[in-house]
Chains A and B, each alone.
Chain A
Amino acid sequence: MSHVNYVVFTIVLILFLVVTLTGFTAARWRRAEDRLHLNEWGLGGRGFGTFIGWFLIGGDLYTAYTFVAVPSAVFLAGAVAGFFAVSYTIIVFPIALIFMPRLWSISRVHNYVTPADFVRGRYGSRGLSLATALTGILALMPYIALQLVGIQAVLTVMGVGTTSNNTFVKDLPLIIAFLVLAIFTAVSGLRAPTLIAFIKDTLIYVMIIVAIFYIPTRLGGWGNIFAAGKTHMTAISPTTHKPNGVFIPTAGNSQLAFATLALGSACALFCYPHAITATLATKRRDVIKRNMSLLPIYSIMLGFIALLGYMALADKTTAANVKGPGKGNAQLAVPYLFQHMFPSWFTGIAFAAIVIGALVPAAIMSIAAANLFTRNIFKEFFKPDASPRLQTRMSQWVSLVIKLGALLFAVELPKTFSINFQLLGGIWILQTFPALVFGLFTRWFHRWALLAGWAGGMIFGTIAAYKTSTPTTSHWASSTDFEFGHTVYIGVSAIILNIAISVVLTLIFKAVHVPAGADETLPHQYTADPEETPAPVPAGVSSL
Chain B
Amino acid sequence: MTQPAIKPKHPIAAHPWTSAVITILVVADIWFALYVPLYARATPKVGDFPFFYFYLMIYMPVTGIVMWIVYLLQKRLRPTGDHQGPAAVSEVTS
Contact = CB atoms under 8 A, between A and B. Distances in A.
Q: Is B one of A's binding partners? A: yes
Interface of A: 79, 83, 86-87, 89-91, 93-95, 97-98, 102, 221-223, 225-226, 247-250, 255-256, 258-259, 262-263, 286, 289-290, 292-297, 299-300, 303-304, 307, 441, 522-524, 526-531
A209 to B, nearest CB: 15
Contact of B63 (A93, A98, A221, A530): A93
Interface in B36-94: 36-37, 40-42, 47-50, 52-53, 56-57, 59-61, 63-68, 70-71, 74, 84, 86, 88-94
A89 to B, nearest CB: 8
Contact of B67 (A94, A249, A258, A300): A94
Interface residues of B: mostly helix, strand, loop or mixed? helix
B56 A523 contact: no
B5 to A, nearest CB: 14
A259 B32 CA distance: 11
Nearest to A300: B60
Nearest to B28: A94
A477 to B, nearest CB: 23
B71 A289 contact: yes
A293 B74 CA distance: 13
Given A87-B56, A526-B90, A248 B50 contact: yes
Contact of B53 (A83, A293, A300): A83
Given A91-B33, A255-B36, A255-B37, A529 B49 contact: no
A93 B66 CA distance: 10
A390 B64 CA distance: 42
Given A226-B49, A528-B88, A299 B36 contact: no
B14 to A, nearest CB: 14
Given A94-B63, A248-B40, A294-B64, A289 B74 contact: yes
A293 B67 contact: yes
B58 to A, nearest CB: 9
Contact of A522 (B1, B60, B68): B1
Contacts of A286: 71
Given A249-B36, A522-B1, A524-B90, A226 B26 contact: no
Q: Give chain A's interface secondary structure class.
A: helix
B11 to A, nearest CB: 9
A303 B89 contact: no
A522 B85 CA distance: 12
Interface of B: 1, 26, 29-30, 33-37, 40-42, 47-50, 52-53, 56-57, 59-61, 63-68, 70-71, 74, 84, 86, 88-94
Given A91-B34, A94-B67, A222 B48 contact: yes
Given A86-B56, A97-B26, A523-B94, A531 B84 contact: yes
Given A248-B41, A296-B60, A98 B26 contact: yes
A394 to B, nearest CB: 32
B34 A259 contact: yes
B93 A303 contact: no
Given A226-B48, A530-B84, A102 B92 contact: yes
B67 to A, nearest CB: 4
Given A87-B33, A102-B92, A221-B48, A529 B40 contact: no
B59 to A, nearest CB: 5
Contacts of A527: 88-92, 94
Contacts of A524: 86, 88-90, 94
Contact of B70 (A97, A256, A299, A304): A97
Nearest to A95: B30
A259 B35 contact: yes
18 contacts: A89-B60, A90-B63, A93-B67, A222-B49, A248-B40, A255-B36, A258-B36, A262-B34, A286-B71, A289-B71, A290-B68, A292-B71, A294-B64, A297-B64, A300-B61, A522-B1, A526-B90, A527-B92
Given A255-B37, A523-B90, A293 B56 contact: no
B93 A441 contact: yes
A425 B87 CA distance: 41
Nearest to A225: B48
Nearest to A216: B48
The 3 closest A-B pairs by CB, nearest first: A293-B67, A222-B48, A223-B48
B52 A248 contact: yes
B57 A303 contact: yes
Contacts of A300: 57, 60-61
B91 A296 contact: no
B42 A248 contact: yes
Given A102-B92, A223-B48, A250 B40 contact: yes
Given A293-B67, A303-B57, A527-B89, A87 B40 contact: no
